[in-house]
Amino acid sequence: MRKQIAAANWKMNCTFQQGEKLLDDILGAEIGLSAHRFAVFAVPYPYLLMTRSELEEEQNYYAAAQNCHHKKAGAFTGEVSAEMLHSMNINYCVVGHSERREFNAETNAMLADKVNLCLENHITPIFCCGEPLAIREAGTQNDYVATQLKESLFHLPGVTIKNIVIAYEPIWAIGTGKTASTEQAQEIHHYLRSVIAAQYGEAIANEIPILYGGSVKANNAKELFSCPDVDGGLVGGASLVAADFIEIIKALK
């Protein structure tokens, strides 16, 4: 079975102490993860070492950065490089979240550079793609997300792209309380996998986890994750509530 991943994205939330307690509460549930099931916590930079330390004795629990810079190093005050993350033994990094695309003007070409740097530093990119409401309403979401994949990932050889995790974000469903129906989620996830298959073949496409990232909650996770092409979720608000994220982890196939 493909990797099934519950990925928490804390965004810019929680004090250090609140973050510690949140992790303690989640780990206190003692959810044993089988070989193909993973829990990943994308926390603010100042909390990475604390999170890694909290998780290091746990099976298949990992810390993730929420971003990295698209240059290897240099005069970029306030930025963090993939090499720095690797030096801290961070295994995952979110790349191209819709908020960074919108508020930080991140382009598909820039994200291709980030993906390269993550992979060079043995970090698994969680690559985000997805369409805004206007694109969904126009019915052109397939072309939109296919372009995101092609321009940011399809320069990679097949042996390398297998190390990517993709997170589909219906931007119109993030923080709005709206959620794609299970049918909509499965349809677009299946389409994304078909685009990868057309480029790399079905065997490789079937190895890549594709997470759903639009208002995943404790009460809809099991239904969403039951879709054959939905391999878990990239979870925002619900990941900040221990009881909710515990149920989301348990909902993994």
pLDDT tens, position by position, 62-100: 999 999 999 999 999 999 999 999 999 999 999 999 999
Grouping H, G, I as helix, E, B as strand and the rest as coil, residue 95 is strand
Interval 46-62 mean pLDDT: 97
Grouping H, G, I as helix, E, B as strand and the rest as coil, residue 13 is coil
Q: Which two tokens stand for residue 109?
A: 């070409």
Tell me if residue 169 is catalytic: yes
- Residue 235 is classified by DSSP as E
Tell me if residue 190 is catalytic: no
In this prediction, residue 179 carries a pLDDT of 67
Could you tell me how far CA 185 lies from the centroid of its own chain? 15
Q: Which residues are within 8 A (CB) of 131 and not within 5 positions of it... i.e. 6 or more apart? A: 140, 141, 144, 145, 170, 171, 172
Per-residue pLDDT for 180 more than 90?
A: no
In this prediction, residue 175 carries a pLDDT of 65
Catalytic residue among 97, 99, 131, 189: 97
Render 98-166 in DSSP notation, one character per residue: HHHHHHS---HHHHHHHHHHHHHTT-EEEEEE---HHHHHHT-HHHHHHHHHHHHHTTS-HHHHTT-EE
Per-residue pLDDT tens digits for 184-205: 999 999 999 999 999 999 999 9
Catalytic residue among 70, 169, 189, 247: 169
Per-residue pLDDT for 174 more than 80?
A: no
The pTM assigned to this predicted structure is 0.96
Q: Minimum mean pLDDT among 16-20, 24-28, 135-139: which range?
A: 135-139
Tell which wins on pLDDT, 174 or 186: 186
Which candidate, 125, 1, 21, 108, places its Cα nearest to that of 68?
Answer: 125
Mean pLDDT of all residues belonging to the chain: 96
Domains and CATH numbers, the chain: 4-250 (3.20.20.70)
| 126 backbone dihedrals φ, ψ, rounded to 5° | -100, 95
- Residue 18 is classified by DSSP as H
Confidence band for 154, pLDDT divided at 50, 70 and 90: very high
| 19 backbone dihedrals φ, ψ, rounded to 5° | -65, -45
Per-residue pLDDT tens digits for 216-241: 999 999 999 999 999 999 999 999 99
Q: Which two tokens stand for residue 14?
A: 């929680």
